[in-house]
Amino acid sequence: MSGNPFSLAGKTALVTGATGYFGQSIAQSLMEAGAEVYLNGRNAAAVEALVATFQERKMAARPAIFDILSEEETANFFDVLGSAPLDILVNNAYAGATGAIEVADAQNYRDSYEITVVVAHRLLRGALENLRVAKHVNGDASVINIASMYGVVSPDLRVYQGKPDANGSFYGAAKAALIQWTRYGACEFGPEGIRFNVLTPGAFPSPAAQGRYPQLIAQLEKKVPLGRIGVAHEIGGVVAFLSSPAASYVNGATIAVDGGWTAW
């Protein structure tokens, strides 16, 4: 391997949920490593404002304004992309409610599975030829899925005020499915040189959540061997690594980014 194995120069990425807490960090880390990044979101004003912010900093941000829940809008994006290479696909977007099993309803499960697994499948199918072109042109292609430690372990209900406020049972079930889907992708497309990996982040409450729920944050920190919650850039850095030639033999991995929570 010659040159900087961590460089993403000449590579192109698509990040879903790019205007969110994780999404902004992931996009920034990829661009700082040299990639051009399509920032996806359905709120045009938010996406365009974020693109402008990054471009003012001389970063290669591009808008990708479409609703990932819409088959038509997703197909339209890839039609416009045409046969251009797409080296990196990051399935990061999520939106959903809270609630333990007793207070959840069937629609919570349908919605969570749709935005987590069905959307990942839809985007992969839309991007597959572009990923294949990227592998041919640049020698590597990578799909990175953002799951959760709650796809691996169950939340401790004692840290929440009550079952309605607990991390959603449907969320953990969907993220567990995403982890397994990642393994399927790694085995199916590994022979083509398209790598699939998944992150299982731990406690990463946004700054707004930290301000609203200081007692919850304190309880969460007690459960982390490092003694603190995560910061968004600690997700972005791992995604950039997995996207790079330095990770060219990392395929089918489930990487915990949880400060040691699941190591207890």
| Residues 59, 51 contacting (CB under 8 angstroms) | no
Q: What are phi and psi of 143, to 5 degrees?
A: -110, 125
The residues annotated with a catalytic role in the active site are 171
**Where are the strands (E) in the chain, listed by range?**
12-15, 36-41, 61-65, 88-91, 141-146, 194-201, 254-257
Residue position matching structure tokens 């992969």: 124
Say how far apart CA 187 and CA 185 lie, in whole Å: 5
| Residues 20, 93 contacting (CB under 8 angstroms) | yes
